[in-house]
């Protein structure tokens, strides 16, 4: 018995390797792409939290902090518009590697002497430039990963496609939440520069591994698309993109700047507490996204398990879930001013958790619909156009978050103003969603 027992883990390990080798080449490549995307997402979430908390501590106003992310979001818009075209011409794996390298470069730019990162005419453009590179990097990675799913799931298996999209999106946001926590923790333990250096070294190893392991043909279009074709000609894609713009603007208008600054300034939370709470929120949000197909994917009118139209959501489902979501920020905005400090904390935290759960379902549903609507040939172009609208919504929400919170008073009044704008954006998303197709992909 003693001689045989050591062989068991070896057999298990060998079996696992054999199973991995037995997978189709495309699936193995996608697993590597997904791993790259996860590693990138971890650093992206951590960097965002580091920038918000560190520069708030340096005396930056909420609007100044929002401006630091201006180029991050703006270049995300540009990258998604052009990145889909690049992915179709160069291959999705190559755009993934470019994104990883740019994120390493962006992190390296923040390793300047601490005296440079103060409120000055030099520091703000420098940090904005670093954030611009990070925004380009993030959306190259997102576009590459999301577009790959369309190429790996057999055509017509919409329920499986929804499940794969939900799993990727949910796991990504769970890791982004961990990145928020990691950012707050590293800032407390290592300081700003130490935290940035640790992340840069980790991602550098991931990039070098990716250069060796990834092939360059995934997602490359047979017919090279022209640059003039970057704008989608699909009515369904255009409608969904418009809805996505206001959906994510509604989230970021209160979540990106106003909420973390409010928690730190009004509740008196430390860096790690703010980072930890927002991390837990995004992790839970990601988990709900992963379960979204079980919540929205079944239609009682389905006649059989093989009835794909009855097992996946459509525009009608998108309308219902965003209309429900619009009620939550409006409810928080109504209750928050009238509550005392203890009750206000409960209202905000409970409302944030409820908002996160319903928003996660909306996000997962939208992520499935765009992959379903996208063309098979040049899928990255439709997906890139859609995530261009997503980035534009984040840009709009980020700027409004800093401006509204500062203009209406840095406290409950500023947060309430952000919440009302959030509710208005979600109402507009609902109006657009009325026109989304019902169980159609074109």
Give Cα 35 to chain centroid, integer Å.
15
Q: Which residues contact 8 (CB under 8 A, 6 or more apart)?
A: none
Six-digit token string for 144: 């590459």
Q: For residues 36 and 173, which has the higher predicted lDDT (pLDDT)?
A: 36
Please give the Cα distance from 404 to 417 (Å, whole number): 6
Six-digit token string for 223: 């017919």
Q: Is the pLDDT of residue 430 over 60?
A: yes
**Residues 73-88, mean pLDDT to the nearest whole number:** 73
**Residues 7-25, mean pLDDT to the nearest whole number:** 56
Q: Is the pLDDT of residue 424 over 90?
A: yes
The share of the chain scoring above pLDDT 90, in percent, equals: 13
Confidence of residue 124 (pLDDT cuts 50, 70, 90): confident
Confidence of residue 120 (pLDDT cuts 50, 70, 90): low
Q: Is the pLDDT of residue 431 over 80?
A: yes
**Residues 242-253, mean pLDDT to the nearest whole number:** 92
Q: For residues 356 and 256, which has the higher predicted lDDT (pLDDT)?
A: 356
The share of the chain scoring above pLDDT 70, in percent, equals: 72
Please give the Cα distance from 346 to 174 (Å, whole number): 23
* CATH number listed for the domain at residues 24-219+231-433: 1.20.1250.20
Q: For residues 188 and 120, which has the higher predicted lDDT (pLDDT)?
A: 188
pLDDT of residue 223: 54
pLDDT of residue 1: 46
pLDDT of residue 305: 42
Count the alpha carbons within 13 Å of 69 in the hemisphere toward its beta carbon: 31
Confidence of residue 21 (pLDDT cuts 50, 70, 90): low
pLDDT of residue 304: 41
Q: For residues 393 and 76, which has the higher predicted lDDT (pLDDT)?
A: 393
Confidence of residue 362 (pLDDT cuts 50, 70, 90): very high
User: Domains of the chain: which residue ranges?
Assistant: 24-219+231-433
Give Cα 433 to chain centroid, integer Å.
21
Please write the tens of the pLDDT for every residue from 284-324.
877 787 777 777 765 444 444 444 444 677 778 889 999 99
Q: Which residues of 270-283 are buried (b: 16+ CB within 10 A; e: fewer)?
A: ebbebbbbbbbbbb
pLDDT of residue 339: 64
Confidence of residue 395 (pLDDT cuts 50, 70, 90): confident
Q: Which residues contact 250 (CB under 8 A, 6 or more apart)?
A: 325, 329, 393, 397, 421, 422, 423, 425, 426, 429
pLDDT of residue 16: 52
Nearest to 423 by CA among 349, 339, 358: 358
Please give the Cα distance from 99 to 285 (Å, whole number): 25
Confidence of residue 156 (pLDDT cuts 50, 70, 90): low
**Residues 403-432, mean pLDDT to the nearest whole number:** 90
Give the chain's mean pLDDT.
77
Q: Which helix (H) or strand (E) holds 255?
A: helix 235-255
**Residues 60-68, mean pLDDT to the nearest whole number:** 73
pLDDT of residue 299: 43
């Amino acid at each position: 018995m003693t001689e045989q027992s050591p062989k068991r883990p070896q057999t298990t390990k060998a079996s696992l390797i054999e199973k991995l080798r037995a997978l189709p080449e495309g699936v193995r490549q996608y697993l590597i792409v997904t791993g790259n995307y996860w590693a990138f997402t971890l650093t992206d979430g951590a960097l965002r939290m580091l920038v918000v908390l560190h520069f708030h501590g340096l005396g930056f106003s909420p609007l100044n902090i929002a401006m630091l992310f201006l180029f991050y979001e703006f270049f995300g818009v540009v990258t998604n518009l052009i990145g889909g075209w690049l992915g179709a011409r160069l291959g999705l794996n190559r755009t993934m590697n470019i994104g990883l390298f740019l994120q390493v470069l962006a992190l390296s730019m923040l390793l300047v002497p601490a005296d440079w990162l103060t409120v000055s005419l030099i520091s703000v453009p420098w940090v904005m430039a670093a954030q611009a590179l990070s925004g380009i990097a993030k959306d190259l990675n997102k576009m590459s990963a999301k577009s790959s799913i369309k190429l790996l799931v057999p055509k017509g298996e919409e329920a499986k496609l929804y499940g794969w999209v939900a799993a990727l999106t949910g796991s990504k946001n769970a890791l982004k939440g961990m990145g928020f926590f990691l950012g707050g923790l590293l800032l407390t333990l290592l300081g700003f520069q130490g935290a940035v250096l640790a992340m840069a070294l980790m991602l550098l190893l991931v990039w070098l591994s990716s250069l060796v392991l990834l092939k360059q043909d995934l997602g490359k279009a047979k017919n090279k698309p022209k640059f003039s074709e970057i704008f989608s000609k699909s009515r369904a894609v255009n409608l969904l993109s418009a809805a996505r713009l206001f959906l994510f603007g509604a989230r970021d208008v209160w979540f990106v700047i106003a909420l973390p600054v409010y928690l730190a300034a009004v509740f008196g939370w430390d860096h790690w507490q703010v980072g930890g709470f927002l991390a837990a929120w995004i992790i839970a949000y990601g988990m709900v996204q992963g379960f979204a197909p079980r919540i929205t994917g079944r239609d009682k009118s389905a006649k059989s398990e093989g009835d794909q139209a009855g097992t996946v959501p459509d525009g009608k489902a998108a309308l219902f879930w965003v209309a429900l979501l619009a009620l939550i920020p409006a409810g928080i905005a109504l209750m928050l001013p009238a509550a005392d400090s203890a009750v206000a904390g409960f209202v905000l935290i409970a409302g944030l958790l409820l908002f996160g759960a319903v928003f996660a379902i909306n996000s997962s549903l939208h992520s499935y619909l765009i992959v379903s609507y996208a063309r098979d040939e040049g899928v990255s172009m439709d997906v890139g156009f859609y995530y261009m609208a997503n980035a534009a919504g984040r840009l709009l929400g980020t700027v409004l978050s800093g401006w509204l919170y500062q203009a209406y008073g840095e406290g409950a009044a500023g947060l309430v103003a952000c919440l009302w704008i959030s509710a208005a954006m979600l109402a507009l998303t609902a109006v657009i969603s009325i026109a989304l197709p019902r169980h159609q992909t074109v």
